[in-house]
């Protein structure tokens, strides 16, 4: 199977879903996040208010002979905050991290607001023939793990040519 078929895409529309793997990958993501926080935060971010931003969870996609495994870091989210679906061989992970608000928070003055909140969507193109009923997902300590069994490989079959009647 080609690695391109497992390339993750989509992140809620910000266009940063396809990140090249490199030594500077995490630095690049952090700089992108800082620019996004500044440009999307508007006056609220300048005034020290937490900005609503799109999250882009870090994911790993690995493959063995029998299955594809997806791991996504989702710190601060619970199982009820995450939705996984598959449609036309596209695995979609959607989630939302909501702002924690309590009574009395309106009187707080933020000095540093680095936590991100909002909705994210990640899509991973899977090979054809995946059986959605066999996909398993678990979540523990903010890490989502999805196991996707590969379809059985079709064996070539020789067709005998018979005499026409």
Q: Using one digit for the tens of pLDDT, what is the confidence trace for 71-112?
A: 999 988 999 999 999 998 899 999 998 877 776 677 777 788
Query: Which whole-number Å values give the CA distances from 16 to 29, 31, 116, 155, in the listed order?
Result: 9, 12, 16, 40
The stretch 53-73 carries a mean pLDDT of: 88
Mean pLDDT of the chain, nearest integer: 78
Q: Do 61 and 69 contact (CB within 8 A), yes or no? A: yes
Query: Which whole-number Å values give the CA distances from 150 to 64, 73, 133, 154, in the listed order?
Result: 9, 23, 12, 12
The stretch 53-60 carries a mean pLDDT of: 78
The stretch 18-43 carries a mean pLDDT of: 65
Query: In terms of pLDDT, which residue wins out, 129 or 42?
Result: 129
Q: Do 25 and 33 contact (CB within 8 A), yes or no? A: no
Measured in whole angstroms, how far is the alpha carbon of residue 74 from the centre of its chain? 9
Is the pLDDT at 45 greater than 50, yes or no?
A: no
Fold for 3-100+109-149, please state it: Immunoglobulin-like (2.60.40)
Query: In terms of pLDDT, which residue wins out, 103 or 61?
Result: 61
Distance CA 151, CA 128 (A): 8
Among 53-57, 112-116, 137-141, the minimum mean pLDDT is found in 53-57
Distance CA 134, CA 65 (A): 16
| Angle formed at CA 133 by CA 129 and CA 138, multiple of 5 degrees | 115
What is the band of 28 on the pLDDT scale with cuts at 50, 70, 90?
confident
Among 2-6, 20-24, 58-62, the minimum mean pLDDT is found in 2-6
Query: In terms of pLDDT, which residue wins out, 108 or 128?
Result: 128
Q: What is the pLDDT of residue 109?
A: 79
Q: What is the pLDDT of residue 13?
A: 45
Task: Report CA Rg, the chain.
Answer: 21
Is the pLDDT at 41 greater than 60, yes or no?
A: no
Q: What is the pLDDT of residue 38?
A: 65
Among 16-20, 25-29, 146-150, the minimum mean pLDDT is found in 16-20
b vs e for 125-134, b when ≥16 Cβ sit within 10 Å of the residue's Cβ?
A: bbeeebeeee
């Amino acid at each position: 199977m080609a690695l391109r078929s497992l390339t993750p895409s989509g992140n809620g529309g910000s266009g940063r879903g396809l990140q090249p793997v490199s030594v500077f990958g995490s630095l690049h993501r952090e700089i992108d996040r800082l620019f996004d926080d500044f440009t999307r935060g508007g006056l609220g971010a300048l005034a020290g208010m937490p900005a609503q931003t799109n999250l882009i969870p870090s994911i790993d996609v690995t493959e063995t002979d029998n299955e594809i495994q997806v791991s996504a870091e989702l710190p601060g989210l619970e199982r009820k905050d995450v939705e996984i679906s598959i449609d036309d061989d596209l695995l979609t992970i959607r989630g939302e991290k909501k702002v924690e608000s309590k009574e009395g928070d309106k009187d707080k003055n933020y000095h540093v607001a680095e936590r991100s909140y909002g909705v994210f969507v990640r899509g991973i193109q899977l090979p054809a023939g995946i059986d959605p009923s066999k996909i398993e997902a678990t979540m523990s300590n903010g890490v989502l793990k999805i196991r996707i069994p590969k379809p059985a490989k079709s064996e070539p079959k020789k067709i005998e040519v018979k005499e026409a009647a």
